[in-house]
Amino acid sequence: MFSSICPLIKVQFRAKPICCSENQSTLQDAAPVRIGFLGLGIMGSPMAQNLLKSGCDVTVWNRTKSKCDPLLSLGARYKPSPKEVAASCDIVFAMLADPESALDVACGKNGAANAMAPGKGYVDVSTVDATTSKTINSYMKSKRALFLEAPVSGSKKPAEDGQLIFLTAGDKALYEIAAPFLDIMGKSRFYLGDVGNGAAMKLIVNMIMGSMMASFSEGLVLSEKVGLDPSVLVEVVSQGAISAPMYKTKGPSMVQALYPTAFPLKHQQKDLRLALGLAESVAQPTPVAAAANEIYKAAKLRGLSDEDFSAVIEALKSIQGK
């Protein structure tokens, strides 16, 4: 049995916009929020599971229905389209792989926007560019629904442990309503203002992360090339001023050429591409990220798209002639 600690919400949420006055209702009006979750991949599935384990009423959808089965066994409901999930829920969370998927699930023929209405909220936790977020926001506004972008910093393990960081922007009223649910899935959250700011912050964070991993990979390859033990390099780096949890976590498996997927390499390269586009839009040079992007593109050509992004080291080994 899971503990029932899911937050309650005033029932007016279902009949009026979220911004309705708090003093118009009483504790007797409180009812469980009906949560929808769209996209049950590496990140979405554990996030939805944490909501279920906290006693939340969750309805799920995924393109591949079999991925819903573990959630259904935990008590989730299933609907066959994003539109039907949105019709039956108060707040809909979406975790999709890329901008194209995010737009289709939100705004497509059977997208959630078709069933959004005043009193409903859509929270997109996907990593997309600002233009995509703004487009989805416009669709939701056309239905007089509220929108919050809330991309996450963190990969599979933080998602499983409820230790994600949410980078949110959009309707402040929805942020306040969604906050208790974000706190179930994450350890911290930031409200960054207007739609687009959350997307920009996430792309910059992932740009830094991708560049760091590429540089770390170069160091591991070089250390072995000059006769050093790369495992010792991992220990040295982990104890010094440049220590980062990513190096300590990923380093030992990289030395063994093992890349269990926590964050797919194809997604890292996608985020670098989007970050470079963001930089281009404001004429900001990003030569380090641009170079890193080329290495990830080379890794994709080697068939490593679905491996963890730490597998970028394999592209460098190839360059080194290994």
The residues that are catalytic are 202
Calpha distance 185→4 (Å, rounded): 15
List Cβ neighbours of 156 (8 Å cut-off, separation of 6 or more).
Answer: 42, 43, 46, 261, 262, 263
| 83 within 8 A of 114, measured Cβ to Cβ | yes
Q: Return the DSSP state at 7.
A: P
Task: State the Rg of the chain over Cα.
Answer: 21
Q: Return the DSSP state at 109.
A: T
Calpha distance 60→268 (Å, rounded): 26
Task: Tell me phi and psi for residue 19, to 5 degrees.
Answer: -80, 10
List Cβ neighbours of 109 (8 Å cut-off, separation of 6 or more).
Answer: none
Calpha distance 111→274 (Å, rounded): 24
> Which pair of tokens denotes residue 166?
């949410």
Task: Tell me phi and psi for residue 61, to 5 degrees.
Answer: -150, 145
